[in-house]
Amino acid sequence: MRREKLFSNDGFYPFIVESNVLLHREAIDCGRHMFELLLKKRTPERPLTVLDLACGGEPIVIAKIMESFPDRCFHYTGIDINPDQVEQARSVFEFPKNVTEVRINEGNAWDFRTAEPALKYDVIFMGMNLHHGTPEEIHYLATRIVELLEDDGVFINHDCFRPDDQPYLRRPDSHPENPDESFQLLDKDVLSSITEPSFTLDEVDSAATEPDWRIRYRQSLSTTAIERGGNKTGIESMNQHVNLRDYPISLQDFHKIFESVGFKVNTQRYNSQDSLGEFIAMAVASKHGVELTAQ
């Protein structure tokens, strides 16, 4: 269970979002297009149901997208593990007026046994959380998402991905200096309850030298945050988090994992000159395939 200061009300994450370090603005543009496609297939009377996994206290990407369709109506469910983010999203964050139902649940967004009501959703969104999962945990998540999505629904993931041609580095199971602090997103018994296909990731030994791409990724994050005026303490807390917990799969891996449960996958790198453009992208999984457009 992860309740980190970085993502608390007085943490550094609101600055990261506000200054677009993680390309949230690009995600809004790209995600809006996905909603447009879906809304065309729906009658205006029917609210679109949206599930936001690891929503945070300010679910800005989804809120901005929903706001841009003022004639349509949305029912929103968010899940977050951090109680103060849940409280912020419930009581402080202002959802647009066309979001006529808002539910925020406290719980683990990766383990639907603890947090998920038994509904089907038109859209399931995850922003900036998938990069903490191992391929096995992501596969488990994909098996749950495929069950929870309406037949023509979409899973939209705005996240960090390592470059396709670079080796995978596996996240440790626990904090290197404190074995009691688990980094696992799912209990081992949950993972062992399903059969894993074999994903042949180009994986390097965790004890080996850190791959170049990960050093570059951390440096780009840090440099961008400094250039945009982030304060020293905040940047340190971000670096510490990234160093300990960010072990992203690649877009190619995303294809393999989500296709293994029956999804069609479309991915889009944002058309951004940003130095993080190499690492941040949108991946969309649906049962029928969708068309992502260049921005």
Ligand X SMILES: C[S@@+](CC[C@H](N)C(=O)[O-])C[C@H]1O[C@@H](n2cnc3c(N)ncnc32)[C@H](O)[C@@H]1O
Note the residues at the interface with ligand X (CB under 6 A): 2, 7, 13, 17, 54-56, 61, 79-82, 85, 108-110, 127-129, 185
- Report the C-alpha gap between 206 and 50 in whole angstroms: 37
Computed from CA positions of residues 125, 129, 135, 139, in that sequence, does the dihedral angle turn out positive or negative? negative
Distance, CA of 215 to chain centre: 21
Shortest Å distance, C-beta 234 to ligand X? 14
- Report the C-alpha gap between 293 and 30 in whole angstroms: 8
Give 88 or 267: the residue with its C-beta nearer to ligand X. 88
Residue 250 DSSP class? B
- Report the C-alpha gap between 227 and 277 in whole angstroms: 16
User: Is 260:197 a contact under the CB 8 Å cutoff?
Assistant: yes
Give 87 or 259: the residue with its C-beta nearer to ligand X. 87
**Residue with token string 């391929």:** 135
User: Is 140:107 a contact under the CB 8 Å cutoff?
Assistant: no
Question: Which residue has its beta carbon closest to ligand X?
Answer: 127
Shortest Å distance, C-beta 163 to ligand X? 21
Give 106 or 259: the residue with its C-beta nearer to ligand X. 106
User: Around Cβ 235, how many Cβ atoms within 10 Å?
Assistant: 19
Give 104 or 261: the residue with its C-beta nearer to ligand X. 104
Shortest Å distance, C-beta 43 to ligand X? 29
Give 16 or 40: the residue with its C-beta nearer to ligand X. 16
**Residue with token string 């629904």:** 153
Shortest Å distance, C-beta 222 to ligand X? 16
Shortest Å distance, C-beta 154 to ligand X? 16
Give 18 or 210: the residue with its C-beta nearer to ligand X. 18
Shortest Å distance, C-beta 288 to ligand X? 25
